[in-house]
Amino acid sequence: MPPSSSPLHDSRLALAALSGAAGSVCRLVGGAAVAVALAACGAGLPDGTSELRRPNIVLYVVDTVRADRLGAYGYEKPTSPRLDAFAAGAVLFENAYAQSSWTRPAVASLFTGLLPPAHRTVGRRSVLPEDAETLAEILAANGYEGMGLVRNPNVSRAFGFAQGFTRFRSEDRERDETMLDRVRLWLDERQSADGPFFLFLHAIDPHGPYDPAPEFEEMFEAGGAPAHYRTVRYLLGLNRGEVEPEPGTAEALSRLYDAEVAQNDRAFGELLDELSVRGLDEDTAVIYVSDHGEEFAEHGRWEHGLSLYEEVLRVPLVMRLPGVPPRRVEAPAQHVDVLPTLLGYLDIEAPPNDGRNLLAARRRGDDPPDVYTHLDVDGHRAASVIRGRYKLVLPQSPSQGAEPMLFDLDADPGELENLASERPDIVERMLGLLTERNLADEVESAEEIEGDQLDEDLRRRLRALGYVD
């Protein structure tokens, strides 16, 4: 990366340039932001100066959180006070998209910077290929010690997501906040470590079945929901048409969901507190993102992984990066952008990918980037592309419909009016975009794991979330 393109260059160049004082500046400031800035400027380390290091990285993925249920994204209910405070000092992307509406392909795109046709981790039995170059592997090659803690079994070691991590644990605990116990132990162990760390946490509280702690139920007046609303069987029954929703079902489930989002927000805040208490917050980049959103019958469906509507694709993406001033970014962002953005910030060369560096300066007049999404699970198959104000959804299975759907997201953010018959010119142009990205036809799955290769504990955990019978 040229020095002028480093996001930390402008804010720290003056420090590095102080006459005859580069060494003392490094010692006085001593922060990771300065280390990255000097590296980006091509500045050598002065004699007698201890070697500077890149910042630590925390990638916090929270499952199933749609952006419009968070205060920082305009929600009026108090679901996210800790995230809101965090976002005020960070870069918040107002229009961020998941690459899929369920976990495994979405996180595969997050880890590799690749669209689903490239990483091919698309189906229920798909495994992230060994030859996929992941963020953890790239960081490990650049001196990072990686620790992964995941509560969603869809991104467990069995499905290939441990690649590049020194340690990797799939947690089966009651609440997201209990993961912090493992984090504390690990940070204690590496107190004397010289190099930076990469901590990946995948939290899952907001994922169905929704069963928040009593204090959060009370906060969102969710305690009146019937007991069966809190079961995976009920949610599966809704989607399979085996259960008829009752009046008020969507509202009751929505309240339970809000309570779980708030419950996770407290866990995220406790993680931030832990970093602060240890004096790590100023030298640690923290990325908060969700893998996908959630549906509450806006289009007749429940949960996720069944469609490519906005409610399952619009996710929060917030980055607090030492040396980068806080701001809100309106231009579209997507999962594949996280890898090139983070590596660009760290001045590490990124492998070929489908994303872009979100911190790189955009030229006046540049068109906003296209956004691509894909779904292929349990017989539900579709692809979509957003260009400007228009979104095209291409159904590829009977459950998704028979004809393309075109929506004007500016005039119709709820995606209620299909304009495909009125604007065939736009449909044709956008179908061409999907074809160029190998999304117009079925995506061939990568390596697949057979059912008998899943150990009983993993099957139990997948069953608890409704992923296996």
Strand ranges of the sheet holding 371-377, from the earlier edge strand across to the other edge = 371-377, 380-387, 390-395, 405-408
Query: E strands along 21-62, which residues?
Result: 56-62
In the structure encoding, which two tokens stand for residue 434, read together? Answer: 């999907």
For range 213-218, the mean pLDDT: 93
pTM of the model: 0.88
Q: In angstroms, rounded to a whole number, what is the distance separating the alpha carbons of residues 33 and 364?
A: 28
161: which strand partners? none
301, 401 contact by CB (below 8 A): no
pLDDT at position 461, please? 65
333-363: b (≥16 Cβ within 10 Å) or e: bbbbbbbbbbbbbbbbebeebbbbbbbeeee
pLDDT in tens, 412-460: 999 999 999 999 999 999 999 999 999 988 887 777 776 656 666 666 6
Average pLDDT, the chain: 84
Band of pLDDT at residue 223, cut at 50, 70 and 90: confident
pLDDT in tens, 31-54: 445 444 444 443 332 333 234 679
Nearest Cα residue to 317 out of 285, 288, 345: 288
Phi/psi of residue 71, nearest 5 degrees = -60, -40
pLDDT at position 199, please? 98
Query: E strands along 28-182, which residues?
Result: 56-62, 91-93, 96-97, 145-150, 167-170
Nearest Cα residue to 454 out of 123, 232, 166, 154: 154
**Strand duo 295-296 + 284-290: pairing:** unpaired
The angle, 0 to 180 degrees and rounded to 10, between the axes of the packed helices 32-41 and 9-17 is 90
394: which strand partners? 383
Nearest Cα residue to 208 out of 292, 296, 300, 303: 303
Residue 97 pLDDT exceeds 50: yes
pLDDT at position 4, please? 39
Nearest Cα residue to 97 out of 299, 284, 431, 375: 375
315: which strand partners? 96
Nearest Cα residue to 446 out of 163, 155, 126, 134: 126
pLDDT at position 346, please? 96
Q: Which helix (H) or strand (E) holds 334?
A: strand 333-334
pLDDT in tens, 266-302: 999 999 999 999 999 999 999 999 999 999 989 888 8
Q: In angstroms, rounded to a whole number, what is the distance separating the alpha carbons of residues 107 and 128?
A: 10
pLDDT at position 39, please? 43
Query: E strands along 47-203, which residues?
Result: 56-62, 91-93, 96-97, 145-150, 167-170, 197-203
Question: Has domain 56-357 been given CATH number 3.30.460.80?
Answer: no
pLDDT at position 434, please? 96
Question: Has domain 371-436 been given CATH number 1.20.1440.230?
Answer: no
For range 64-68, the mean pLDDT: 97
Residue 404 pLDDT exceeds 60: yes
In the structure encoding, which two tokens stand for residue 188, read together? Answer: 């204690």
In the structure encoding, which two tokens stand for residue 418, read together? Answer: 């299909």
Domain boundaries, the chain: 3-41, 56-357, 371-436
